[in-house]
Amino acid sequence: MSPHILGFGCAHPPLRMDTTRWLALATAIAPPRVDRALLQRLADRSGIAQRWCAAATDNHPAGFYATDGLSSHTGPSVGTAARMHLWAEAVRPMALAACRDAISSSEVDAQSVTHLVTASCTGFCAPGMDQWLIRDLGLSPSVRRTNIGFMGCHAAINAVATARDIARADSSARVLVCCGEVCSAHLHYGERVDQWIANTLFGDGAAAVVIAASAGHARSSTHAPATIIDTHSLIIEGSEDAMTWEIGDCGFAMGLSAEVPALIERALPSWVDAQLAAHGLARTSVAGWAIHPGGPRVIDSVVHALGLSAAAGDASRSVLRDFGNMSSATLLFILERLSRVGTTGPVVALAFGPGLSAEMLVISVSSQSQTG
């Protein structure tokens, strides 16, 4: 039995941030010794035209980070507790909107949801996103809950894999998956270039899917149902320090090596080929690629390593351009975009996270004419 993704939902905070506004925020929070020309170069190379940002406000360039300690550059003054409060305030309405859209596009009854899988690597509290969604969506209080925390940008695949296993074990299960990330709660204002690269790349968003054992659970769909073929995992040898994500006193801190694209490029081809071959597939038989946009170089490295056409990265580049890197939510945004434009056949999603680890999701998207 191969479970199906029945529908998608995507959401973001209300405040849009274009490049000019991002540079104003970055300039306001960067210490004096950070070269402002560097901030401009990073923005120019990011591939991002806009993002939605919960930390931005209309009344100060630094937004959430406008504190006396920052304006005088005497040192970090926005602690982790305040950042977690921002996460909680921003993620709840985003997650609710994404889940409502996923349930609507799947055309299942919210009361029929039996399991809820949530994922976030940018915030924690209890009661948290799982219990908020049960209350706000009017789900049954007996819904089974699983939270996937702190796994990083590939957590959507881990969440989908968990939902798939639930649907395989229980043919009556309807699983709601939601990834909610407030990356702007963790902007850093030190001098490390890798942290300014991370600051430049990330945005905020939430995405959700409904997964069930059979596409027959959906009466109809604005998105063609997708069969989940399999998921695969890889920890790349010798890469433990290439990407890190740690909880500090002033937010969560990312460590990012310039070697990440090269490590991905070396590890990917043989691994991808072996997993595809296990399902009777090859790179040439894949109709669509959802490559997590850790940055433009990551997309380019994957496309180059797998010998794909430049167009294979278009969906990923367009989501990066329009939303930035929203950590775990991003991959579902890309899959939603591929589904919405009518991609049919095998689709491969690839994402990378701390470790350095890689996750792969293989689905097969039906044509709308085959559903109903």
At residue 59, the pLDDT reads: 86
**Residue 171 neighbours by CB under 8 Å, 6+ apart:** 1, 213, 214
For residues 83 and 304, what is the distance between their CA atoms, to the nearest angstrom?
38
As a whole number, the mean pLDDT across the chain is: 91
As annotated, the active-site residues are: 153
Does the structure show a pLDDT above 60 at 70? no
Contact 77, 136 (CB under 8 A): no
Q: Span 184-208, mean pLDDT?
A: 93
Does the structure show a pLDDT above 80 at 325? yes
> Three-state SS for 289?
strand
Instruction: Report CA Rg, the chain.
Output: 20
pLDDT digit string, tens, across residues 22-56: 999 999 999 989 999 999 999 999 999 999 999 99
At residue 72, the pLDDT reads: 42
Task: Say which CATH topology domain 226-370 has.
Answer: Peroxisomal Thiolase; Chain A, domain 1 (3.40.47)
pLDDT digit string, tens, across residues 342-370: 888 999 999 999 989 999 999 998 875 34
Contact 160, 365 (CB under 8 A): no
pLDDT digit string, tens, across residues 270-304: 999 999 999 999 999 999 999 999 999 999 999 99
Q: Span 157-172, mean pLDDT?
A: 96
Does the structure show a pLDDT above 50 at 64? yes
Of 214 and 72, the structure prediction assigns the larger pLDDT to 214
At residue 368, the pLDDT reads: 58
> Three-state SS for 43?
helix
What would the two tokens of residue 320 be?
A: 């990066």
Contact 144, 173 (CB under 8 A): no
Helix %, strand %, coil % for the chain, to 5? 40, 25, 35
Q: How many CB atoms lie within 10 A of CB 109?
A: 10
Q: How many CA atoms lie within 13 A of 273 on its CB side?
A: 9
